[in-house]
Amino acid sequence: MLKLDKVQSGYGNKLAIKNISLEINEGEIITLIGANGAGKSTTLMTICGVIPCRSGKITFQGKEIQTMDPDQIVKLGICQVPEGRHIFPQLTVKENLDMGAFLRKDKDGIKKDMEYVYSLFPILAERRNQDGGNLSGGEQQMLAMSRALMARPKVLLLDEPSMGLAPLVIKQIFEIIRQINKESNTTIFLVEQNANQALHIADRGYVMETGEITLTGSAKELLANKEIQKAYLGI
């Protein structure tokens, strides 16, 4: 569904990702794990067209997208929940969700999807008229994910959804990622430093170190890999 072929991008004269190749099939949950600064966020932002792809190819459903603008990429069905959420703090929960549906015209579909995200996260339904900035970190993460779902993505790119959240909230967020994947057949590309949680919900994973993919395999294989256990799972 989404394929990166020898993709490079970076900042100024520095390459932050070097010759990255990976594939995500429809319906999968794929995780990209790696330490701080490995290049995970840069990979997501390059897919979304926020950071220009300097070389290589990014293909989505057979179409090359590496030269497209971010709004064209969203229209195709690729939507990112950025690291740090970036919700609109002065807009209400409902208004944040409306912003997610900005490019859509199907009023009935939008209403249905709003009911769906409220069913996933009942706390957001309760707080629909409160400003986004008054929500807790976990609720803001829920809102950022819901806002992305309002664009009805085919692929949801999640950047560190667990960052800064309490263990119980993390558990809830990861369960809902799995639920979104199963119920709405949304393909998920999950970037995480929390390798243990991510590999427990993923089908397959890629490991990134200093801008390069160094290992790939099924989530089961990666969880059983001694080097991964030592470097990322604290075992």
Is 34 an interacting residue with respect to ligand ATP (CB under 6 A)? yes
CB 165 within 8 A of CB 192: no
User: Could you say whether residue 8 binds ligand ATP (CB under 6 A)?
Assistant: no
Nearby residues of 230 by Cβ (< 8 Å), 6 or more positions away: none
Strands 212-218 and 29-34: unpaired
Q: Which range of residues in 33-41, 118-126, 127-135, 146-154 is near ligand ATP by CB under 6 A?
A: 33-41
Q: Which member of 9, 31, 41, 80 binds ligand ATP (CB under 6 A)? A: 41
User: Rule CB under 6 A: is residue 42 a binding residue for ligand ATP?
Assistant: yes
- 51-87 exposure pattern, b = at least 16 Cβ within 10 A, e = fewer: bebeebebebeeeebbebeeeebbeebbbbbbbebeb
Closest separation between CB of residue 194 and ligand ATP, Å? 11
In angstroms, the CA 54 to CA 146 distance is 31
Q: Contact region for ligand ATP (CB under 6 A) — 29-37, 134-142, 178-186, 222-230?
A: 29-37
78 to 107, contacts with ligand ATP by CB under 6 A?
83
What is the pattern of x (binds ligand ATP, CB under 6 A) and - over residues 177-206?
A: ----------------x-------------
User: How many residues sit close enough to ligand ATP to count as binding (CB under 6 A)?
Assistant: 12
Burial (CB < 10 A; 0-12, 13-18, 19+), residue 102, is exposed
Q: Which is nearer to ligand ATP, 8 or 193 (CB)?
A: 193
For position 7 contacting ligand ATP by CB under 6 A, the verdict is: no
11 forms part of the interface with ligand ATP (CB under 6 A):
yes
Q: Which of 37, 109, 122, 164 binds ligand ATP (CB under 6 A)?
A: 37
Structure token pair of residue 131: 């400003």
Distance of CA 197 to the CA centre of its chain: 15
Q: Which residues share a beta bridge with 17?
A: 9
